[in-house]
Amino acid sequence: MNNEAVYIGSRKEMFIDEWLIAHKRNVRLRLHEPQRQEVVLTFDRPWEGPHCGYVTAIRDGGLIRLYYRGYSPDDMSEEQVVCCAESEDGIHFARPRIGLFEFQGTSDNNVVLQGQDAHNFSPFLDGNPKVPAHERYKGVGGQYTTSPHLRNGSMYGYVSTDGIRWSRTREEPIIGDGGFDSQNVAFWDVNLKQYRCYNRYWEPSDHYYRAIQSTLSPNFTDWGPQTRNEYGKGSPLEHFYTNATILCPGAEHLYMAFPMRLFESRQTVEDHPYPGVSDAVMMTSRDGVHWDRTFMEAWLRPGGDLRNWTDRNQMVACGCIETAYNEFSLYALEHYRMTDCRLRRVTVRKHGFASVYAGYGGGEFTTRVVRFAGTRLLLNYATSAAGLIKVEVLDEHERVLPGMSFDDMEPMYGDELEGEVRWTSGASLDAVKNKPVRFRFWLKDADLYALCTSTN
């Protein structure tokens, strides 16, 4: 067993992979599917329509914005537009009357960009602490190739002061090595202190698969070579139509992606003119290149709505918004190619995408050796009325520390985002702060979603 300690500080560690787990007995990691909530937008305006998509969700202070491709008569049309909707709660969205672009004789619309670049335009709020005010918003969009044999797309950079009025960073493309026929997303990577752009390429096999790669830039202008996503041994090739890659809010050291997974040859609705069915998966990474696919099953299924069993639905928007103290909201496309093409909100428990779970018979697991910064151990957990969680602290050789055993604490039960572990002996983590230790957990009919240490 590896006794080398990893430093977790006081950061939030979600149980979305096996990284923190050294060994386990009668417990397993389980994925928590999102809950479908209300439809937040139906794309029924003349400048929208059945091909709306490639949605981005951004919080800017008290304002939440959704950016999406609107009217799109064909992929290369200069009439294509990007639209913006706004909300204060992430649930009720309105179309602001922006008046920048005329569409079919009126500028009374919410269009913020028009032209071929609108086909796959994807903006972000720049988290670089040195960003100039007039470049506070950035985005990527442009032209592409659908040929799997070519890699000569043209991706352009955009900047904006207010997220409404956009201009290219320069007339030349900023990235040219990719297929780009997808929602290519960029953001300021706080872990590397560089800009990162995830984009499409075509993976050769017995036939070509839509796949994900990324590139880095110190300044949003000069981009390095593309690095293809790597997955664990034995992971099958699947069409990842989008990538929807983010840094998890409140746990920004963790990369998460929600690709729309397309199965081109399947067809459920016989009279639909286009083949294909799709769902969304969740995958995670700790460096942005090597991706964990512990959960091969769908994160978001088509469900009971037959109109979601057609091609290119369950396309998850790029962005995760905290809409309540205990809730993350994401957004997913439904009824693509149909007159009621729409966007639905889905919710997950805050930092509760997955958990370590034990059934009624109970089970336990022990963490790898860690060093931490806080003096209080906080758990994001939920149990049944009969369930419980107990915790003990071990040294790096798995010897229980005095006063911090299972027997030294009352069982925890309930449903809390930050339930504090307390030992009846009065023992405190302060004595082992920044020292190598392990945590051992006993669970019964319980989910442990995340942990962290805190000094507050």
Whole-number mean pLDDT of the chain?
96
pLDDT in the model for residue 365: 98
For 273-318, the pLDDT digits (tens) are 999 999 999 999 999 999 999 999 999 999 999 999 999 999 999 9
For 85-101, the pLDDT digits (tens) are 999 999 999 999 999 99
What integer is the mean pLDDT of 5-11? Answer: 96
Residues in contact with 17: Cβ distance below 8 Å, sequence separation at least 6, in sequence order: 29, 284, 286, 292, 294
3-state secondary structure of 391: strand
pLDDT in the model for residue 144: 81
Q: Taking phi first (over 0 means left), then psi (-120 to 50 degrees means alpha), and beta for anything else, what does residue 400 get?
A: beta
More confident: 207 or 69: 69
Read off φ and ψ for residue 138, nearest 5 degrees.
-135, 165
Q: Where are the domains of the chain?
A: 6-32+354-454, 35-349
CB 122 within 8 A of CB 186: yes
Name the band, by pLDDT with cuts 50, 70 and 90, for residue 150: confident
pLDDT above 80: residue 3: no
Name which CATH class applies to 6-32+354-454.
mainly beta
CA separation for the pair 315, 354 (Å, rounded):
20
pTM of the model: 0.97
pLDDT above 90: residue 143: no
More confident: 74 or 25: 25
What integer is the mean pLDDT of 106-124? Answer: 97
CA separation for the pair 201, 178 (Å, rounded):
5
| Nearest CA among 367, 372, 370, 369 for reference residue 356 | 367
Burial class (CB in 10 A: 0-12, 13-18, 19+), 88: exposed
CA 316, 320, 323, 324 dihedral sign is positive
Tokens representing residue 109 in the block = 């619309």
Name which CATH class applies to 35-349.
mainly beta
H or E stretch covering 250: none
Percent residues over pLDDT 90 in the chain: 94
Burial class (CB in 10 A: 0-12, 13-18, 19+), 12: buried
Taking the CA atoms of residue 421, residue 432, residue 356 and residue 250 in that order, the dihedral angle to the nearest 10 degrees is 80
CA separation for the pair 315, 258 (Å, rounded):
8
What integer is the mean pLDDT of 147-160? Answer: 89
Q: Do domains 6-32+354-454 and 35-349 have the same CATH topology?
A: no
pLDDT above 80: residue 151: no
Among the residue ranges 42-56, 141-155, 334-348, the one predicted with the least confidence is 141-155
Other residues' Cβ atoms within 10 Å of the Cβ of residue 335: 20
Which residue intervals of 119-274 are DSSP H helices? none
pLDDT in the model for residue 2: 59
pLDDT above 90: residue 413: yes
CA separation for the pair 453, 322 (Å, rounded):
21
Read off φ and ψ for residue 392, nearest 5 degrees.
-130, 155
What integer is the mean pLDDT of 406-430? Answer: 96
